[in-house]
Amino acid sequence: MLHTFLSRAALTGGLLLSALAHAGGCPAHYVDGRLPEIRNQKMLSATQELCYGVFGVMHSGLTRTPLWSAEHLTADNVTAASDLSRENSFHAEQQLPAGQRAELSDYARSGFDRGHMAPNGDMPDRSSQHESFTLANMVPQNGENNRHIWAGIEGAVRKLTKKEGDLYVITGPAFIGGDVQKIGNVLVPSHLYKLVYSPRQRAGAAYFIENKATSDYEMLTVAQLESRIGIDLLPSLSAQQKTTLLRLPAIRQRKR
C-alpha cells in the first residue's frame, strides 16, 4: 500500500523537513507569494523545491515526480506560447540526486506518457519550453487521458487566462488507494488535479480526474481538493474563500 511505502521511505529518507510554510525560492509563482504547505507528514521526506523561469516545482524523491508544479499564468505568456512550435527535449533533472530523480529509461516502453504538469503549451519562449520538459515536471500519465481530456483541461485554462488577465495554476498528481503501480522507479498517480485561482475574483476551483482513459472529471473547491491530497495548496486563503467555487469552463474532450 502507498501508506506503508511512504511511511517506510519517510523513516529511511532522513529527517523530515519543516511544513514549508514560507515563501520558498520562487514566490512569484504562488498566490500571495506563499508556498503550499504539506500536511501529510509521510510526503515530506526527500522533497526539493525547483525554480524555473515561469513555473516552480516541489519534487518528491519518494515518488520521483513533482508533488506539484505551480504557475502564475498571464495572458501575455499564453499569447506568446501560442506562436511557439513544440520542440521535444525530455531530460532527467540534473539538479536532483540520482537516487531520487526519474530517468528516461523509467518511462521507456512503460505504456505511459511523460505527462507535463506545467504544460509545454503555457511556455512563452524556448528557454521556458526546454525547462518544462524536465522529468521533474512529469508524471506517468495514461496516454488517452493526456492527449484528450487533459489536453482539453489545459486549453480551457489558457482560454480562461486570456479572459481573466492572469491566473495562478497548481497542477499535480494524487496517490489514492492501496494499488499503487510503478514504472521503473517512478510511482504512477491514481489521479491528477489542476487547481485554478483567479486573483481578480479571489476564488478558486480544481479539475480532478482519474489517471485513465476517461471523459469524466470532478470539479472541486479548493478545500475539497486539499482534503483529498493532504496539501494546503493556498495557505493565504481563509477557510471561507476555499469553499467559494470559481466557475471553470466545462471540458469537451479533444477529438481523436
pLDDT tens digits along 74-85 = 999 999 999 999
Q: Say which residues have a Cβ less than 8 Å from residue 158's Cβ, sequence separation at least 6.
A: 73, 78, 81, 121, 122
The reported pLDDT for the residue numbered 6 is 52
Q: Determine the number of helices (DSSP H) and then strands (DSSP E) in the chain.
A: 8, 13
* Maximal CA-CA distance, the chain: 48
Grid cell for residue 132: 518544462
Task: Please state whether the predicted TM-score (pTM) of the whole model is above 0.85.
Answer: yes
CA proximity to 32, closest of 239, 243, 233 = 233
Q: Set out the domains of the chain in order of their start, with CATH numbers.
A: 2-242 (3.40.570.10)
Grid cell for residue 19: 511544513
Grid cell for residue 207: 479539475
Q: How many Cα atoms sit within 13 Å of 91 on the Cβ side?
A: 12
Q: Which residues are catalytic?
A: 116
Is the predicted pLDDT of residue 256 greater than 70, yes or no? no
List the beta bridge partners of residue 51. Answer: 56
**What whole-number distance in Å separates Cα of residue 124 and Cα of residue 132?**
11
**What whole-number distance in Å separates Cα of residue 71 and Cα of residue 221?**
19
How much is the average pLDDT of 224-236? Answer: 97
Is the predicted pLDDT of residue 205 greater than 90, yes or no? yes
Sole residue written with cell 504538469: 117
> Over the Cα atoms of the chain, what is R_g?
17
